Amino acid sequence: QSALTQPASVSGSPGQSITISCTGTSSDVGGYNYVSWYQQHPGKAPKLMIYDVSNRPSGVSNRFSGSKSGNTASLTISGLQAEDEADYYCSSYASSSTLVFGGGTKLTVL
């Protein structure tokens, strides 16, 4: 069970859009529509932002959207704001009834 692959860092200016990728295999991301995304600010617990590839929990801004193509899932944040600066983690259900996380991506708002 290997971790999903995310870029270590991404950056963007306020108002811009950014996309964070999350690459797995056919045994996890590619095999199931059960990818989630979490936002984590320093010293805080993670917060669920997207579940089941593209669904937003109640209260999460519609600036956050998710998608998937093959073995790669993506999180897009539009209209970047300073408060979006945080670490982002993807997670996927994987075969043999397990969960796997990505290594995390640090988003910097310039």
Partner 1 sequence: QLQLQESGPGLVKPSETLSLTCTVSGGSISRSSYYWGWIRQPPGKGLEWIGSIYYSGSTYYNPSLKSRVTISVDTSKNQFSLKLSSVTAADTAVYYCASQKGSTWIHLWPFDYWGQGTLVTVSS
Torsion of Cα atoms, 29 then 21 then 109 then 41, to 10° = 20
| Contact residues: partner 1, CB under 8 A | 1, 3, 32, 34, 36, 38, 45-48, 51-52, 57, 89, 91, 93, 96-104
Q: Which is nearer to partner 1, 17 or 52 (CB)?
A: 52
How far, in Å, are 1, 79, 99 from residue 96 at the CA level? 10, 38, 9
Taking the least distance from each CB to partner 1, the nearer of 16 and 107 is 107
Shortest Cβ 100–partner 1 spacing (Å): 7
- Which phi and psi (to 5°) does residue 55 adopt? -95, 135
Identity of the residue, 62 or 97, whose beta carbon is nearer to partner 1 in the bound complex: 97
Q: Which residues pair with 68 in a beta bridge?
A: 73
Residue 13 CB, nearest distance to partner 1 (Å)? 26
